[in-house]
A = this chain, B = another copy of it.
Amino acid sequence: MTTTKTIAFVLYPGLTTLDFVGPLQVISGLQGLGLGFEAVTVAAARRPLPTDSPVSVTASHTFEQVPAPYGLIVPGGGAPTFAALADEQLTGYVRQAAQDAEVVGSVCTGSLILGAAGLLEGREAVTHWAAMPMLRAFGATPVSRRWVADGRVLTAAGVAAGIDMALHLVTELVGEDAARTIQAAIEYDPQPPLGPIDWDRVDRAFMESVIRSAAEKGLADHPELLARLATADGARSVSP
């Protein structure tokens, strides 16, 4: 008898919707191929959670129902994600669920949640480009790539990078054919109308100040953690 391998996406209030929906769509496609994988979403409770967008989302399972998934993927966001760093129920679940997981993943600032759960110590990782130095607060080495695999820990860059990371994960788990099938099914043949990001035209200071404000807002009641992040961030030495 084969056991279905569950990949759990961790939901919490205020997260960035595309952070989890991008890779969830890919892993749902993997489930559809009947190769022994299933996708679930997990949250503290099965009730509608606000997101950063005008839509609420309800997880398919509670944390209690999925204590030991095969894989775990933690999405990110703005101020609510920083608040989540101090949410012991959430970080406790992530830490416990990661314990025996074969894959521990994140998208965007979700890697900071992995960090807060103690899972990035001594590892290379990536996060949203404007938050990169903050990874140091958790003992991680920021590496500017679309996704970074360090052992079983797989972190993706900001928001949309989760789609690329998930297709990579499918390739690793079951091979290129499945990844190509899913890519065609979701017609992921990107044609950004203005081309790839032109980093020379990006107002980095603006976006970095947005992230800094989000940290201050989310961690207003947790000055020690905020100070750790701010110190790491102040030592900015990583350019995407």
List chain B residues, Cβ under 8 A from A40.
Answer: 54
Q: How far is the CB of A233 from chain B (nearest CB, A)?
A: 18
Say how many copies of this protein the assembly contains. 2
Chain A interface residue count, Cβ-Cβ cutoff 8 angstroms:
63
List chain B residues, Cβ under 8 A from A179.
Answer: 193-194
List chain B residues, Cβ under 8 A from A187.
Answer: 108, 128-129, 157-161, 197
Closest chain B residue, CB of each to CB of A157: B187
Q: Which of B108, B160, B168 contacts A189, CB < 8 Å?
A: B160
Is there contact, CB below 8 Å, between B194 and A18?
no
Q: How far is the CB of A76 from chain B (nearest CB, A)?
A: 11
Q: How far is the CB of A18 from chain B (nearest CB, A)?
A: 4
Q: A190-B164, A194-B171 are in contact. Are A53 and B185 (CB under 8 A)?
A: no
- Let me know if A13 is at the binding interface, CB within 8 A: no
Is there contact, CB below 8 Å, between B194 and A183?
yes
List chain B residues, Cβ under 8 A from A54.
Answer: 24, 28, 38-41, 60-61
- Let me know if A57 is at the binding interface, CB within 8 A: yes
The 9 closest A-B pairs by CB, nearest first: A158-B187, A190-B190, A54-B60, A18-B25, A56-B58, A21-B21, A159-B186, A189-B197, A160-B188
